[in-house]
Chains A and B, each alone.
Chain A
Amino acid sequence: MIEKKPIIFLLLATMAILVGTVVTMVAPFKWINDPKLAIASVKPYTPLQLEGRDIYIREGCNNCHTQMVRPLLSDTERYGEYSKSGEFAYDQPHLWGSRRNGPDLARIGGKYPDAWHVKHMKDPRSMVPRSNMPAYAFLEQPLDTGLSEKKMKALKFPYTRADLDELSGKTEMDAMVAYMQKVGNDIPWRKTGRAEVLGELDNPFQDNMAVLPEGKELYLQHCAQCHGEDLKGEVGPGLEDLDQPDSAVFNIIYVGSPEAGMPAYGDSLGKERIWKLVTYLKSVHRR
């Protein structure tokens, strides 16, 4: 019957399409970004961070990096606290992504010091051997700030003259690093989620020469990018003269030190491998 009436057919097809649309796309506006879900500590972007975010978009970083930690063990242990709706309230557009050709970046803010990011962006393989990320050395060019104020106004983000002045003389790299340090770092998860090391801290591999090769391997893979292959230090301090007890070295690797820019490795490496690392580091000191 309706196969003979194209206009009625078109109207019915439109209605069929709109039912699911209204229920699953229009209606959720009532629940998502509800003021109840807002997180007070989550702040809008500064002009510099926003410019960095626009460079992230321009370069298509979201084609390889997600910004979404799911409440799943393999995500939270690897990247940190799971992502919350309120954390994205200022993200126009969202940058959750759909494929991890590289690691998730939802909790990258505060994980590494600025210098790590600059070095990694310029030459990813110098920091992460066998990484397949393109090199972004060209970001060391002056930042175009012509639209910065207009952007802040359009998104209704608060800003001061000082915020805009901060932009002068900045490079695109500076903006990108400022953005990276902001992502996922507005909630105090690093402090509250910080691992506690309890009980006796005795190195189970003390004086066990057999674990040294594995310890060295772990060092080269996870630490050498910042502390240098020869332990002489670079982004991070030199470690060739570690005059601290095993337990203290273990502790700082396990729980990290956000103030010093040292990431925590407890969740990703686990106790056993960290003790092997400690044994290696201390063996270098004794030599």
Chain B
Amino acid sequence: MNQQEGYEDDVVKGFIIWSMVWGLVAVLLGVVISFQIAFPQLNLPPYLTYGRLRPIHTNAGIFGWGIGSFMAFFIYITQRLTKRSLWSPALARVQLWLFNVVIALAAVTLLLGMNRSKEYAELEWPVALLVVVLWVIFSVNIVMTVVKRREEQMYISLWYILATLVGVAVLYLVNNAAIPISLTKSYSAYAGANDANVQWWYGHNAVAMVLTTPPLAIFYYFLPKSTGVPIYSHRMGVIAFWSLIFMYLWTGAHHLLWTPVPDWVQTLAMAFSVMLIAPSWAAVFNGYFSMNGQWQQMRDNYLVKFLIFGITFYGLQTLQGPSQAIRTFSAFIHYTDWVPGHVHMGTLGWVSLVLFAAIYYTVPKIYRTEIHSIPMANLHFWLAVTGQLMFSISMWISGVQQAAMLNATNPDGSLHYSFMETLVELYPYWHVRALGGVIYLAGLVLFIYNIAKTMSRGNTLAAAQKA
């Protein structure tokens, strides 16, 4: 424990707490909008409609919960892997403040309808500028800590951290280029098919640089920490890292199959999406093979359960994703519920399970105590997995059913179903999804309670020691 004395962990505590707050907001709003889809009278215009709440749900999820906790763990992990304290704790405190200001501003402006309409890049330009400042502050601190490190070798997690810093910066700057009209309104700098191509280059690589490389950095650090055995293959990690960050950037146009974006761009996106299976599964195998001789830990160690289920969902996700990126399959399921089903296996399954494990591991460490309740953490695990599976499986079935109905034709070549005739069949699935969301939310509340109890016990112990 003495080894931790030199590390700047107060700001890590701050980021963990606030990311959990925004995570709760994201899941709560997710449940609300899932009910709004199933029961339209729950829309309360003008502010509380699906159209305005859904961007807040995605932004709170990706940027509040996701980026918030990545900031916590990048700061935590970087210090330990470089064997030195953070370059500038003061800058990190500014970063925590700015982070919360940005997310709160994002929520308020989106609720008021100030929205650029580009998915996951909805924030109007003044807020987007603050995001850029935030990212620069964060990146400088991490990079300087790495440059001035006391451990020569950089472990895999640090590569993913560095790639994330660069990747997000490039993506965000390009896709947010805008023509400002007023403080609350701007137009995209690109038009039509160009705008779409830039948007999905950004959109899909937000998946790469926000929902893949940071959780991988965290996974590669916390799996060995939790199990006590090293990662199976460093070399496989190296190959997977470079091929992953090289290939991901080619795949954006698989969101635009069958649109007027040039065919060759679509075909490249399709090919690279399939090729991405290799580096993705290299990470999965690295996780599984690290467990050789350690599988009993799935029973004994609740952290391992979260991590291995997380990487398993990642594996499923990276098989399903490329299959959707193929023209024929995309023609069938694109624009249906299949896609939210796919996305939520990644966010609720892969990213969140890994983050839960990291928080369960870290909080007792930095508060110098034990976790409040392991049975409660186990219950959280099962609620999260059950809720997630109910969500994704119901949406896959819903998507396939609607796609099949939309494609059904009569003997004379006319369509068998109108759009509405297919939509009314989806209500039961939407009810199941909403229930899945409620179960996931219940698990999340349990998790936050467990962590809060652990934190307050740590604080009490620290106060007692001082006295």
Contacts and interface: CB of A to CB of B under 8 A. Distances in A.
Interface in B40-92: 40, 43, 45-46, 49-52, 54-55
Interface residues of A, dominant DSSP: helix
B197 A25 contact: yes
A248 interface: no
Given A7-B147, A58-B115, A62-B117, A266 B414 contact: yes
B223 interface: no
Given A94-B199, A98-B335, A101-B37, 11 more contacts: A6-B147, A32-B197, A32-B262, A54-B185, A57-B117, A59-B51, A77-B415, A92-B190, A94-B196, A154-B179, A267-B415
Contacts of A130: 420, 423-424, 427
Nearest to A60: B51
Contacts of A103: 419-420
Contacts of B427: 130
Interface string B376-410: 00000000000000000000000000000011011
Given A14-B166, A31-B262, A128 B45 contact: no
B194 A17 contact: no
Nearest to A4: B152
Contacts of B304: none
Interface string A180-205: 00000000000000000000000000
Contact of A60 (B115, B185, B238, B418): B115
Interface in B407-441: 407, 409-410, 412-415, 418-420, 423-424, 427
Interface stretch (B11-19, B129-137, B244-252, B283-291): B244-252
Nearest to A14: B166
A63 to B, nearest CB: 5
A57 B115 contact: yes
B331 interface: yes
Contacts of B366: none
Contact of B407 (A6, A74, A138, A268): A74
Contact of B192 (A21, A33, A99): A33
Interface in B98-131: 113-119
B154 A94 contact: no
A134 B245 contact: no
Given A24-B252, A24-B253, A83-B259, A59 B181 contact: no
Given A72-B331, A94-B195, A99-B335, A132 B38 contact: yes
A10 interface: yes
Interface in A124-182: 124-125, 128, 130-138, 147, 150-151, 154-155
B255 interface: yes
B2 interface: no
A10 B37 contact: no
Contact of A132 (B115, B149, B340, B423): B423
B340 to A, nearest CB: 7
A16 B196 contact: no
Contacts of B467: none
Interface stretch (B265-273, B308-316, B367-375, B449-457): B265-273
A112 interface: no
Interface of B: 36-38, 40, 43, 45-46, 49-52, 54-55, 113-119, 143, 146-147, 149, 152-154, 158-159, 162-163, 166-167, 170, 174, 179, 181-182, 185, 187-199, 201, 238, 242, 245-253, 255-256, 258-262, 265, 268-269, 272, 331, 335-336, 339-340, 406-407, 409-410, 412-415, 418-420, 423-424, 427
27 contacts: A3-B154, A4-B152, A6-B146, A20-B250, A24-B197, A28-B261, A28-B262, A32-B262, A54-B185, A60-B115, A63-B54, A72-B331, A73-B407, A77-B414, A85-B192, A89-B191, A93-B188, A93-B195, A94-B188, A94-B191, A99-B336, A100-B336, A124-B40, A125-B40, A134-B43, A134-B50, A222-B418
A222 B415 CA distance: 14
A150 B185 CA distance: 11
> Which of B51, B55, B261 counts the most chain A CB atoms within 10 A?
B51
Contacts of A124: 40
Contacts of B340: 99
Contacts of A151: 181, 185, 187
Nearest to A22: B249
Contact of A94 (B46, B51, B189, B193): B193
Interface string A11-52: 001101111110111001101110000000000000000000
B54 A60 contact: yes
A270 B418 CA distance: 11
Interface string A98-134: 1111111000000000000000000011001011111
B152 to A, nearest CB: 5
